Amino acid sequence: MKYYIIAGEASGDLHASNLIKELRKRDPDGEFRAWGGDLMEAAGAHLVKHYRELAFMGFVEVLLNLFTILRNISFCKKDIESFNPDVIIFIDYPGFNLRIAKWAKRRGYKTHYYISPQIWAWKEGRIKGIKRDVDEMYVILPFEKDFYEKKHNMPVDFVGHPLIDAINNRPLISPEEFKKVNGLDERPIIALLPGSRKQEIRKMLEVMLSVVEDFPEYQFVIAGAPSVDASFYSEFIANDGVHLLLNKTYDLLSVSYAALVTSGTATLETALFKIPQVVCYTGNRISYEIAKRVIKLKYISLVNLILDKPVVTELIQTEFNKTKLSDELHIILDPYKRATLFLEYYDLEQVLGGKGASEKTAELIHSRIQ
């Protein structure tokens, strides 16, 4: 079988790579052509474009790069026609993927979507196109099944969250070994996760680093994004006590004491590692004002959305400042607060459905394209 897979960011690269591994178990001779990242390539896919060429976020940023996006869409269509896959598998990344799905469905390709676009957050009107253009939808959040089936009469498969497998299947490393290997001292670690795109790192990292001097008994370690060079981070690091580690986010989280995390998938990853966190977000002012008017959600972090209550603190826009960030970090370092968070994180993992998301999804896709 021939599989064409499109992922547009780091998290999609991770989940698609695990899906590819599971599909290869069922179809050893399968051909995989993909838009994604290094992990998908390592899993056996022929990489057409890297997601670092596709990462545009926010209304203003998309408009400024509109011609590049349109060229990518045109190239993708031609590449699919040339490859002629048995199935196209879309991984989140809705602005791009839904356009391709519409075109692909009209040309008779099988369209499977793994990790639903968050249309329950905004642009719910996209459901009409999804019902028309997507043959099979595999959702990873428990409330999404009700959203599709009860509210919009579209059958979907809830497969569980792939992050649980990605985290549980990784090699273990002790805090002592991790610190020694990476040249860190013995102090507890506070991890900084400023995002995966340069434009959000610029906005987030300066404020995150502003609290370092308030916590001399801890060491701060930046989780460098796989698509960003170390040299980019150097302009932000003025404190000799701050460390940068590239491509080691999971190892870093596994040994951290607390974390400051940019809103996104990383908030859920941090919670599944059972690490107390403060969720942070600031963006282009115009983009934020537009988003605030069209997105109707009580929370921005996946942790709070899934559990439907304010488990982790969210500092958004003007609230994301040195004073409030320092205050909230002090709070999550308190033993009583930490114990409370651990219990909430345990409940979160149970709600997400346990292990096996990649395996379940691969089995469903393979059985449905025979």
Please return the burial class of 206, using the count of CB atoms within 10 Å of its CB with bins 0-12, 13-18 and 19+.
middle
* Positions in the chain short of pLDDT 50: 59-60, 290
Both tokens of 131, joined, read 């019902």
Between helices 10-26 and 357-368, what is the axis angle to 10°?
A: 60
| pLDDT value for 66 | 59
| pLDDT value for 234 | 87
| pLDDT value for 253 | 97
| pLDDT value for 227 | 75
| pLDDT value for 252 | 97
| pLDDT value for 164 | 93
3-state secondary structure of 250: helix
| pLDDT value for 52 | 78
DSSP character at residue 174: -
According to CATH, the superfamily of the domain at 2-161+354-368 is Glycogen Phosphorylase B; (3.40.50.2000)
Both tokens of 214, joined, read 């308030």
CA distance 352 to 164: 8
Q: Are 90 and 121 in contact (CB under 8 A)?
A: no
DSSP character at residue 352: T
Q: Are 274 and 338 in contact (CB under 8 A)?
A: no
| pLDDT value for 295 | 58
CA 27 to chain centre: 27
Same fold, 2-161+354-368 and 169-351: yes
CA distance 250 to 176: 16
| pLDDT value for 123 | 85
DSSP codes, 252-272? HHHH-SEEEEESSHHHHHHHH
CA distance 70 to 271: 36
222 - beta bridge partners? 192, 244
3-state secondary structure of 158: strand
3-state secondary structure of 314: strand
| pLDDT value for 285 | 58
| pLDDT value for 235 | 85
| pLDDT value for 63 | 55
What CATH number belongs to 169-351?
A: 3.40.50.2000
* All structural domains of the chain with their residue ranges: 2-161+354-368, 169-351
pTM value is: 0.81
Both tokens of 321, joined, read 């400042």
CA distance 352 to 336: 25
